[in-house]
Amino acid sequence: MPYYESPVDGTRLHYVDHGPACGAVAVFVAGAYLGHEMWEHQMLPLAEAGYRCLGLDRRGHGRSDDVWSGYDLDTLADDLQGLLDHLDLREATLIAHSVGTAEVVRCLTRHGSSRVARAALVCGVSPGIIRSQRLPDGLDPAVVRADEEFFRRDRPAWFTHFADAFFAVTSVGNEVSDAYTRYLIDRCLVATPRAATGVRSVVTGLDLTAELPAVDVPVLVVHGTHDTSAPLAHTGERLARLVQDAVLKVYENGGHGLFFTHAERLTADLREFLGAAGATAATTGICRMLAAAGIGG
C-alpha cells in the first residue's frame, strides 16, 4: 500500500493510485469521516477509461495514521499539496466532496495552481454553512452545538439517524440499499474520534467568502437540490458566484450522497470536465509500451 509523509509533521498518509500512469490525473478528496473508498463509483470507471485516479485518506481517516494534531484547514491543505509534490503531479484535476472542497480551495489559495489544471467541488460546504457576519443566513450555532453533543455521545447512532437525509432517500429515484448504508456508516466509523471531531471543527469555523475569488483555475460545482447537509442556496450557488471561472451543475433530487445515488451522471460530468486526454492516453503507443514493461498504474 503506498504512503507518503505529510510535509507538515511527517504523519504517514495513505493513498491509492489507479489507472495508467500516463493518463490525465484526477486526485480525489473525500468528505468528512470517509476515506478514498467513497469515490469507488467514480474512480473505478474513470481509471478503466484511461484516467490516472488517485485517492487520498486524510489524517485519522481510512488507512492513514491516527494522530492527535493537524486537524486544521491549513494542515489538511498542506497534506494534499504534499501528495501532489510527492508524486510530482502536473495538470491535475482536484475532485472533492463536502469538507474536502474547503481543503482543495485552501490548497489552491495557499500553494497556488502550478500543479493543478482544474477543480471539481461536489456537494461542498464552501464557503461555509454556520451563521456568521458574512454568512448571515447560515445555520444557528445553537443547533450546531446540540448536534455536536449528539455526535460525541453516540457516533454510530448519529450516522444511522441522518443516513436517509444524507442520500435524500425520500426523493424520487434515490434508491439506496440497507447494505450500502451500513457499509458507508462502517467506513465512517473508521475515522478516529479525534479526527472526526477535528474535521467537524473545520466546518464549524469555515468562512471562505474572501478566499474563493482568488481561485484561478476552472471550477465545476456540482450540487443537489435536496442536500440538507450543505443547502444549495448557501453553498453551491454562492460558491459558483464567488469563483471567477465556475460552472454550476444542479442535480434534481440530489442529496449530499449523490456520489452514489447519481453515480453515473456524476462520473459522466467528471469525465467531460477532465477532457479526452485520459481516455486517449491509454491507447497511445507510449502507454502500451509502459504497460508491457510493467511500468505504471
Under 8 Å between Cβ of 195 and 71: yes
Q: Could you give the count of Cα atoms lying within 13 Å of 297 in the half-sphere of its Cβ?
A: 26
Of the residues 98, 223, 234, 269, only one is catalytic, namely 98
All three cell numbers of 146, joined, read 446540540
Nearest to 120 by CA among 233, 8, 248: 248
**Assigned C-alpha cell, 62:** 481510512
Ramachandran quadrant class, 50 (left: phi over 0; alpha: psi -120 to 50; beta: rest): left
Residue 156 CA to its chain's centroid (Å)? 22
Nearest one of 96, 92, 126 to 112, comparing CA atoms = 92
Catalytic residue among 61, 97, 256, 262: 256
98 is catalytic: yes
Alpha carbon distance 199, 32 (integer Å): 7
Active site residue 201: no
Q: Which three cell numbers stand for residue 63?
A: 488507512
Distance between CA atoms of 215 and 221, rounded to whole angstroms?
13
- Active-site hit among 36, 227, 229, 269: 227
Query: Which residues are the active-site residues?
Result: 98, 227, 256
